[in-house]
Amino acid sequence: MGPDDPAGCYILQVPELPEVEVTRRGIALQLAGRRISRVEVREPRLRWPVPQAVRKLAGRTVRAVRRRGKYLLFDCGDGHLIVHLGMSGSLRVLPSGTPAGKHDHFDLVLGDRLLRLRDPRRFGAVLWTAGELAAHPLLAHLGVEPLSRAFAPARLYFLTRGQRISIKQFLMDARRIVGVGNIYASESLFRAGVHPRTPARRLSRSRCAALAQAIKETLRVAIRAGGSSLRDYVGADGAAGEFQLRTWVYDREGLPCRRCGTPIRRIVQGARATYFCPQCQKR
Ligand SMILES: [Zn+2]
């Protein structure tokens, strides 16, 4: 299986945590410390209506760009602009005055550059909150950040106690752990050698430790892969970077396992496809 194996690369269609994190890093480099000069809302009908408060952000300074789960949080001092990319959204930094296309619904203009949201399906969100972030209805129930120090092996063991659902479905529950989407759940379970149908509560301490480590590694590898396309997210030409991943199991049904050669299997759990190696992954 060479690097040109077409089944080996998966192009992300829905932005997941690594893609959002790569976007955040690119935006933070370009925008942190800059003053908002103008806001342009071309289409307020996103997943939720863009509130009037967003149109009045001119004059504020973007102090920092943070992330919670898949939400980007622009710290403006007295409140936060909250941006979610939904199913098809992308953000880019462009020179001010760049003509907008059909799906370019929102611009934050900061002097000589602007941040532009393109979202053909309009499941994305642009919101404002002056309140406590942790108490915001969209953020209050989010689980632990998998890349944070708080997500230690002991934490995963603690979280899974008493949980009868399969570990695959457990990993995808954002109320417990945020940002482990369908692709990364399959990939992490493969790395840890855990069968996706294993009941969460049956995982031993040592297997929880291996799985927590595998989740962090899987996400970091994806962020690194995305980092190589960082240039494209912030480039003056506005070309979108393609976020390609070389997957171990995801979307590889019937293809030989990259470790042992056994054909990869596909099953459905909670209406979502799961891919795994029946040889490398044990209950
Ligand atoms: Zn295998």
Question: What per-residue confidence (pLDDT) applies to 243?
Answer: 55
Decide if 43 is catalytic: no
Q: Does the pLDDT value for residue 97 go beyond 90?
A: yes
Q: What percent of the chain has a predicted confidence (pLDDT) above 70?
A: 88
Q: Does the pLDDT value for residue 13 go beyond 90?
A: no
Question: What per-residue confidence (pLDDT) applies to 35?
Answer: 97
Question: What per-residue confidence (pLDDT) applies to 225?
Answer: 79
Decide if 16 is catalytic: yes
171-194 per-residue burial string, b: 16 or more CB within 10 A, e: under 16: bbbeebbbbbbbbbbbbbbbbbbb
In the predicted model, what is the mean pLDDT of residues 4-22? 61
Query: Which helix H or strand E contains 241, and what residues bound it?
Result: none
Q: Does the pLDDT value for residue 209 go beyond 70?
A: yes
51-93 per-position pLDDT tens digit: 999 999 999 999 999 999 999 999 999 999 999 998 888 898 9
231-279 per-position pLDDT tens digit: 444 433 333 445 567 899 999 999 999 999 999 999 999 999 999 999 9
Decide if 70 is catalytic: yes
Question: What per-residue confidence (pLDDT) applies to 232?
Answer: 44
C-alpha span between 173 and 156 (Å, rounded): 13
Question: What per-residue confidence (pLDDT) applies to 169?
Answer: 97
Query: Which helix H or strand E contains 36, and what residues bound it?
Result: none
Question: What per-residue confidence (pLDDT) applies to 173?
Answer: 95
Q: Does the pLDDT value for residue 15 go beyond 90?
A: no
User: Measured in angstroms, how far is the CA atom of residue 193 from the centroid of ligand 1?
Assistant: 9
How many Cα atoms are found within 13 Å in the side-chain-facing hemisphere of 149?
0
Question: What per-residue confidence (pLDDT) applies to 61?
Answer: 97
C-alpha span between 270 and 211 (Å, rounded): 20
In the predicted model, what is the mean pLDDT of residues 202-231? 86
Lowest mean pLDDT among 13-22, 89-98, 154-163, 212-221: 13-22
DSSP class of residue 115?
E
Q: Of 24, 67, 68, 70, which is the active-site residue?
A: 70
Question: What per-residue confidence (pLDDT) applies to 234?
Answer: 44
User: Measured in angstroms, how far is the CA atom of residue 78 from the centroid of ligand 1?
Assistant: 52
CA distances from 117 to 162, 183, 254 (A): 42, 24, 38
Question: What per-residue confidence (pLDDT) applies to 18?
Answer: 87
Decide if 99 is catalytic: no
Question: What per-residue confidence (pLDDT) applies to 244?
Answer: 61
